[in-house]
Structure 1
Amino acid sequence: MIQINGLTKTYGGRPALDHLDLTLRTGVTGLLGPNGAGKTTLLRCLATTLAPDSGSVTAFGLDPASPSQRTALRRRLGYLPQDPGFYPHFTAFDLVDYVAILKELTDREHRHAEVRRVLAEVDLTGQARTKVRKLSGGMRQRLALAQALLGEPDLLILDEPTVGLDPEQRMSFRALVSRLGESRAVVLSTHQTEDVAALCERVIVLRGGRAVFDGTPGELARVADGQVWLSAEAPATSRMFWRTADGRYRTLGDRPPAAEQATPGVEDGYLMLLGEEVAA
């Protein structure tokens, strides 16, 4: 559905995306990577808010390099940016209604029904008439998600969507995104490996603007097979370890003395993949 070929974007001589090639289809795809890996730049190119230096993105047969096709593509996507802008004196309903007008939902009755629908999807019906400035950070994040859901987009692009959400809200978000991914392409960037493990059928790890892993969460976990250890003492030679809630130390890499092997998870595989870059 979405084809990315040779996508390149450079800032100050440093490549944020480096001749990236990807194909995205229906389902939920997670993007992982350290800060500066190119995740947000990639999502902005997909959302048509940033033009690449070279390469191409096509979605549903539409090329955003063409102004008319870019407009047609924007009608079919929803975008939650990392730092969504808000008008603090608007009510939640008015803000989403304003975005709905920008999305060309011109029939007032239909538009208002759609606004009520997406507010209900993110559990903000009770705050519809509350001014944005009075909403908590988590409520504002859910409000930003609501505007991205307007019009049942075929491509949903989410940049750090669970920031500020409490555990109950995260559970609701996961249920919503899982349902949406059954019939459309959902691409989400996150630093939360537990969201990837819970939500994504596919995970792509970016480093230096290139994809260094592309597979299932289970396959990413298996990158750390035989390299995850639990021990009573902190390892003397490794920087990739932490103290767990039960007082033992979880170490990645070489086996510490008297350590027992542990089952790897998605986070373990991700950390092993990036290695010393993450430890540093």
Structure 2
Amino acid sequence: MTIHVKGLTKRFGRKHVLNGLDLTVTPGVTGLLGPNGAGKTTLLRCLATTLAPDGGSMDVLGLNPADRVQRTELRRRLGYLPQDPGHYPHFTAFDLVDYVAILKEITDRRERHAEVRRVLAEVDLSEQAKVRVRRLSGGMRQRLALAQALLGRPDLLILDEPTVGLDPEQRMRFRAVVSKVGESRTVLLSTHQTEDVAALCERVVVMDGGSAVFDGTPGGLAATAAGRVWLSEDPPDAARLFWRTADGRYRTLGERPAGGGAAEPGVEDGYLLLLGDRARVAA
């Protein structure tokens, strides 16, 4: 067990963002899904020790983040990619990652530079090592943030919306990097991309209203939509969850429309039916 959260609460003003959350995460790749405001980013910030919860308990890598000494040790063993990673625009890509490596206490210069080159290669930025951050594209900056999170081969990798700005080829490379980490360590990632969850995650947790409303495999989430996904030639009369597919037919979730035939459910179908209207934009 890498993470054990019990009764976690966090409130901003009158809004309860985390509402008595219970969660256990084991080695492998676990995905967090949920609409905006579900509490995903707040949970990740608490686990990454950048935000203190109001109540409940956390055990992360056998350490208690509420204890100052244990919190420092935990920070040495985790990698974190926040939703909005900050960059120093005048640094080169190499210098920025090197600076973060110093903060992570990799003090030997030769060892540190070898590690910086390794993580830049992992995210396919070796050729941009001497390019200033301000000249990098949005996707390159996102990969640079991932490189920083990979420094030191962390036991726990926390990623908040890591594939934002990545093109399909870069997303495939991201999946390869993260799946490799997940073979022996723990990855917890938040995303709105249900296809990333289906392709990458062994486990998915759906959050809504600060609580976990589903916890299982991607296949299990898809199975919750069995018998509730339909394809028809004409648009349904009253259904709210439907769209026109590339082949011109209409995919409907929920009640069977007139002339509708059963379709194989996917992760997105299960997610949308679980959360209804609140999930449509996020998915």
- Partners of 1:146 and 1:179 lie apart in 2 by 14
Give the match for residue 207 of structure 2: 206
1:244 is matched with: 245
SS at match of 1:211: strand
Contact 1:93 1:129 in 2 (8 A): yes
Residue of structure 2 equivalent to 1:61: 62
Q: Count matched residues.
A: 280
Is the CA contact 1:141–1:163 (under 8 Å) kept in the aligned structure 2? yes
Q: Work out whether 1:12 is the aligned partner of 2:13.
A: yes
**Residue of structure 1 in register with 2:36 after alignment:** 35
Q: In the alignment, which residue of structure 1 is the partner of 2:236?
A: 235
Counterpart residue number, 2:72:
71
Structure 2 residue 158 is matched with structure 1 residue 157: yes
Q: Is the 8 A contact 1:239 1:279 kept in 2?
A: no
Deviation, structure 1 residue 61: 1.6
- Give how far 1:277 is off: 3.1
Shift of 1:276: 3.7
Q: Once the two structures are superposed, what CA deviation does each residue of 1:185-236 show, in whole Å capped at 9, x if it has no partner?
A: 1000000000000000000000000000000000000010000001111111
Detail structure 1 runs of 4+ shifted over 4 Å in the superposition: none
Counterparts of 1:159 and 1:60, CA distance in 2 = 19
TM-score normalised by L of structure 2: 0.98
Distance 2:149 2:64 in 1: 21
Trace 1:182-193 onto structure 2 (pairs within 5 A): 182-193=183-194
User: What is the match of residue 119 of structure 1?
Assistant: 120
Residues 62, 73 of structure 1: 8 Å contact kept: yes
Task: Give the 3-state SS of the residue equivalent to 2:224 in structure 1.
Answer: helix
Q: In the alignment, residue 33 of structure 1 is paired with which amino acid? A: G
Aligned to 1:274: 275
Deviation string for 1:82-110 (max 9, x for gaps)? 00000000000000000000001111110
Task: Give the drift of 1:279.
Answer: 5.3
TM-score by length of 1: 0.99
Q: Which moved more, 1:183-192 or 1:53-62?
A: 53-62
Tell me the distance in 2 between the aligned counterparts of 1:42 and 1:203: 15
- The 8 Å contact of residues 37 and 208 in structure 1, kept in 2 or not, is answered as yes
| Matched AA of 1:255 | R
Q: Residue type matched to 2:82 in 1?
A: P
Residue 87 of structure 2 aligns to which amino acid in structure 1? Answer: F
Alignment partner, residue 256 of structure 2 = 255
What are structure 1's unaligned runs of at least 5 residues?
A: none
Counterpart of 1:49, as a letter, is T
